[in-house]
Structure 1
Amino acid sequence: MRIGGRLAGAIEVLAEVEERRRPIANALKDWGTAHRFAGSGDRAAIGNIVYDALRCKLSHAFLMDDGSPAALAHAVLYRQWGISPETLAGMLDGDKFAPEPLPEATLAAFNSRSLADAPDAVRGDLPEWIVPAFQENFGEGWLAEAEALNLRPPLDLRVNTLKADREKVKKALSRAGADLSAIAPNGLRIPPGAGPDRLPNVTAELSFQKGWFEVQDEGSQIVARLVDAKAGQQVLDYCAGGGGKTLALAAAMDNAGQVHAYDADRTRLAPIIERLRRAGTRNVQVHDDAAGLEGLQFDRVLVDAPCTGTGTWRRRPDIKWRLSEKNLEERTTQQAEVLAAASRFVKPGGALVYVTCSLLPAENQNQVQAFLAANPDFSAEPVETLWPGLFPGVAAHPHFTAGAFATLTPAITGTDGFFCAILRKRV
C-alpha cells in the first residue's frame, strides 16, 4: 500500500474508535481482518498513525481547527512524521486509494495557529479536569510530564535470570536492536522508531520460547525490585493479573522461598500458568480464591492496585479520552478496599508495597495517607533511602514525595508512570 491507502485506513480506524468508543487494538484487528490484502508493514503504519493521533488528539484538533478523524490523521503526518502539507499533497496526487483532500480552511488553520495560544489542557493533551491533578503532582513541571506521555513508548524486556543473563539475551536479540536499560538491572530496551517503523515481534524469537525473557515495561520491573523480595521469604502478589511482577519476584528469589499469586479476576490471571512454565519457576502458587490465603502471613505483600492507568497513556491513549471523574471515584474506592484486604496478610515487621500505574494524587499519596491514618500499626518506609542499595551506580531516580514515596514517569525515568509506597508493619 502507498501512503494514501495507509492514511485512508487510519481514518477508518479512528472513526471506529471515536464513534463506537472501541479499544484501538480491537478496531485495528477488525480492520486488518476486513482488509487482508494489507501487509504487516501496512497494518503497522496504520496503527502508528492511529496511536499517534490519539496521543495528541487535542493539540492536533486545535492546530487544524478540526477534530475529525481525517484532520487528526493528516496532523500526525504533518507534525509527528515530518511530512509537510505540500509534500503530502504531491505524494497523494493520483493515488486512487487516498482520502479526500482536507478543506482549505483546515490547512489555513494549521499554517497559522500556534500551541502557545492554546489552553493548558490542549498544550498537555489532557482531559481538562485532569490538569489540576498534574499541576498538584508535578508543579511547574506538569506540562513536560504530560508531553512525555504523548510520545511513543519503547519495547522493554526483562531478562529471566533463572535461565539466562542480560548479555546473552542482548546478543540473541541483536537484530532487534535491543540494548541495556538505564535503570532496571535485568532490563533490555528496543527503541520505538518513528513514522511507519514497526517494533519487532520478539515473542516469535526462539529465545522467548525458551523463557529467556519476558515483555515488561522497565517501570514495572523497577517497582517489582522495590519489593526487595529475598530468597527464602514468603511473598504475596495480591493483584497478580497476568503475572509479570510475580515472575520478576520469583526470579529475584532464585526459586527459593514462596510466591503466592492471587487475583480475583480469573480471566486476567489465566495467562500466568503458561508464563510460569516457560520461565522455569518452581516457587509460585496461584490462587483465584482468597480463601486459599486465609491464615497465611507474608514477609512482603505487593498490591498492584486497580487504577485509572494514567501512567500507561503512551501505550493506551484511547483510555485517556474515556476516563471520567466517576471512573476515578470508583477506582479509589476499590483501592481502599484492596489495601485493607491485603494488609491482613502482612506479618509483623513485614512490608506492604502499594503500587499503581497512575499519576494522580487521589490514587497514590492521598490513598496511602488515608490508609496510614486508619492503620497506625503501619508506617511509610522512605523509598529514597532504599533506592541506592537496590539500584547501585544508577544516576537516574524517581520523583520522591517527601522522601517517602516514589513516582516513575516517562519524563523523569523514561518508563511508564508508576507510583510506589512501602508501608512497614510494626512488630
Structure 2
Amino acid sequence: MTHPIKEILSKRHDGISSGIASYCTSNKIVIESILEYYLEKDEYVLIECTANQVNQFGGYMNMTPSDFRDYVYNIADKIGFSREKIILGADHFGPLTWTDKSEKEAMDNAKELVKLAVLAGYTKIHLDTSMFLASDDTSKRLSDEIIAERGAILYKVCEEAFDERIKEYPDSIHPVYVIGSEVPIPGGEYEEKNTLEVTNPTDFENTINAYDRIFKEYGLDDAWNNIIAVVVQPGVEFSNEDVHDYDRTQAIDLCEKLKEYPNLVFEGHSTDYQFSFKLKEMVEDGVAILKVGPAVTYALREALFSLSLMEKELVEDKANFIDVLEENMLKNPKDWEKYYTGSELEKKLARKYSFSDRCRYYMAQDEINASIDKLFENIDSCDISLGMIKQYLPNAYNKIRSGNLSKNAENLVKSNIKDIIKDYDYAIDN
C-alpha cells in the first residue's frame, strides 16, 4: 500500500495544490476535536508527538512511543474514528532530548527512540540531528556532513526496525521521512526585535547534497524513495506576543529552488496563528506539510477561560479553572519560567495569554482535569442565555443561532478548537 502522505503529495505532480496538516499535540480534548472534525470528511489525520513529549524514558507525557500510540487509538475508538485513517508521526526524533550527552550516548538513545517509534507503527518520522551535542565543538557551525551522517545512521535504524515490524505485521505501511530542522530550535521562539530569515536556497541545497553523499557512502541508495520533505524556515514564527506572518515574496527564491526536486516538499513548523489564506499560500508555494500545536491548545485554553468567566456569574460552587491553572503553574514553574520574562505582571499575563501557550504542559495534570470536569458540569447545569454566549464565545453564538451547535460545555470548547482546524483544512483542501 502506498503511504497516504505520498498519495496526497503525488497530486502536486498533476498541478494540484495538495498538502496535509500535522497536528502536534497530546491533549485529549484537542485530539478528540481533530478526529471529530475529520470523521465527517473521511480523511487521513496526521498526529505527531515530539521527542520531548514521548521517548523511551517517558518524556514529559510519561509515555513511550507505543503508549502514545495506544493513547491516540483509544481516543479514536471512543468517537468511532478508524485507526487506519490515523498517521502517527514522530517530530524532532533524534538526539534532541540528550544534547547534554556525548555523541555516542546521545545517538545511542536516539537510535533506540526511532527504533521504538517504527516498531510501534509510526509511519512519518522527522529525523532531526541538527543540534549540538556535548562532545561537539560549539565554536564553529555544525557541519552539514555531521548532521547528514547522524541522520543517515538513524534512517538505517528505522529501516531495520521496519524490516523487523513487517515480519509480525505484514500489512504495515512503509514509513516516510522528513529531514532538516527549522530555526530556531524546537521550543524556542524568535525575538520580536530580530528579523526572521527565510532559509537560504543554497543552505537547502547543501542539506540535500550532504545527505545524498552520506546515503551513498552508507549504501542507502534508495533512501530518497522514502524521504518526502525537508524542514525549512519559510518565514513563519511566533513569539509570546507577536506573529511573523508568511510573506511569499520573501520565500520566492527558496520555493523556486524546490522545483528542482519534484519528489520533495517543504515541511513548515510553527505555522500557528497564521491567517488561513496565508496557510493556503504556503501550501501553494510548496510548504505542503503544515505543523501546528500551540494554536490548537491556545484555542482550548481560550474557550475554557470563557466558560470560567461565565461560571463566575452563574453558580456558587465554582470550579475556578483560571485560578487553579495559575496556582499549578506557580507551584511547578519549570515549564514556563525560562520562556516568560519581565515584571511579575508581565509574567502573569504571559502565563495566561502567551502565544507560546506554555499552559499546555499543565493540562494533563489531575487537578487541572478535575477542574475542567467540574467547569463542564457547572456550565451544563445552567441554561446559558444566547446573549452571554455571544459575549464570551461569539463564533459559537453564530453556530448555535444557525442550528449547528448545542450549548453543551464540551461542544462549545471543541467548537473553538475546530475553528483553528478549519483554517488548516481550508489551506490543504484542493
TM-score (norm 2): 0.30
Whose RCO is larger (CA < 8 A, sep 6+)? 2
